[in-house]
């Protein structure tokens, strides 16, 4: 693809086998002249690397499964799933201004990630029924998001989603969500995790399995 041939080597970095653009990359600078992501969608957040490392060390991503990334932002976790497991990935975000950044990075890695503009509250059971796994990184940062995510997880499991996996550096709204999920779902776990690419980063993984579906 012409886009890939034009990419310079500088201002690109690699993490867990995928290529990502630094904020000072010329494509990012050009996109920022036309798009202004809000809701913290202005960069790649470190919890995405926690998800990548967790997936590499656990047999979670089945081949060609349907994955929905919540609050996808620039889409590094989506791109990882598409590349490493040939997953059919959709990135959902309330802010559609992030999608051009996701699309450029997906093109850089020669994968396809579909995008969907939606608030988490608006994702219906019918829509969620299309997915095997829901993932999210740095998506529970406001107090009101605790209940929004909890309701979404409940709807997802009723819709037949098998697993929900959320990574976070350890914010209070995330811990509140984890407490609610650990109380309700017997096969939920909260684990300390770290990533070592592109640099060392510590955080938490909330992994919840649908009690009505066996692996």
Of 39-43, 52-56, 68-72, 76-80, give the lowest mean pLDDT range.
39-43
How many whole angstroms separate alpha carbon 205 and alpha carbon 96?
26
Compute the mean pLDDT over every residue in the chain, rounded to the nearest whole number: 89
Range 114-141 average pLDDT:
95
Q: Mention every residue, 6+ apart, whose C-beta is less than 8 A from residue 99.
A: 91, 93, 115, 117
**Residue 45, pLDDT score:** 74
**Residue 28, pLDDT score:** 67
More confident residue, 65 or 1: 65
**180 pLDDT tier (thresholds 50, 70, 90):** very high
Q: For residue range 64-120, list pLDDT tens digits in order.
A: 899 999 999 999 999 999 999 999 999 999 988 899 999 999 999 999 999 999 999
Which domains does the chain possess? 2-209 (3.40.50.150)
How many whole angstroms separate alpha carbon 12 and alpha carbon 14?
7
**Residue 6, pLDDT score:** 47
**29 pLDDT tier (thresholds 50, 70, 90):** confident
Which DSSP symbol is given to 9?
S
**41 pLDDT tier (thresholds 50, 70, 90):** very low
Range 16-24 average pLDDT:
86
**60 pLDDT tier (thresholds 50, 70, 90):** confident
Contact call for residues 77 and 135 (beta carbons, < 8 A): yes
Give the distance, in angstroms, between the CA of residue 127 and the centroid of all CA atoms in the same chain.
17
**How much of the chain, in percent, has pLDDT values that exceed 70?**
89
Of 10-19, 32-41, 122-131, give the lowest mean pLDDT range.
32-41
Range 4-32 average pLDDT:
74
**Residue 38, pLDDT score:** 67
How many other C-beta atoms can be found within 10 angstroms of the C-beta atom of residue 194?
A: 12
**4 pLDDT tier (thresholds 50, 70, 90):** very low
More confident residue, 7 or 13: 13
How many whole angstroms separate alpha carbon 185 and alpha carbon 56?
24
**Residue 129, pLDDT score:** 97
Q: Are strands 188-195 and 201-209 parallel, antiparallel or unpaired?
A: antiparallel
């Amino acid at each position: 693809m012409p886009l890939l041939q034009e990419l310079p080597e500088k201002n690109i970095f690699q993490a867990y086998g995928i290529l990502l653009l630094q904020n000072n990359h010329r494509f990012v600078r050009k996109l920022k002249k036309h798009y202004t992501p809000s809701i913290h969608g202005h960069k790649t957040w470190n919890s995405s690397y926690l998800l990548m490392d967790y997936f590499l060390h656990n047999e979670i991503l089945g081949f060609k499964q349907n994955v929905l990334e919540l609050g996808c932002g620039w889409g590094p976790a989506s791109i990882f799933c598409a590349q490493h497991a040939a997953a059919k990935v959709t990135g959902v975000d309330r802010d559609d201004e992030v999608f051009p950044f996701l699309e450029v990075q997906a093109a850089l890695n020669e994968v396809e990630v579909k995008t969907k503009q939606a608030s988490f509250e608006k994702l219906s059971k019918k829509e969620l029924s299309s997915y095997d796994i829901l993932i999210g990184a740095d998506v529970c940062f406001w107090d009101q998001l605790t209940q929004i995510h909890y309701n979404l997880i409940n709807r997802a499991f009723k819709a037949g989603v098998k697993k929900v996996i959320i990574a976070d550096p350890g914010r209070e709204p995330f811990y509140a969500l984890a407490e609610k999920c650990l109380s309700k779902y017997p096969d939920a776990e909260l684990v300390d995790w770290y990533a070592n690419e592109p640099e060392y980063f510590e955080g938490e993984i909330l992994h919840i399995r649908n009690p009505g579906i066996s692996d």
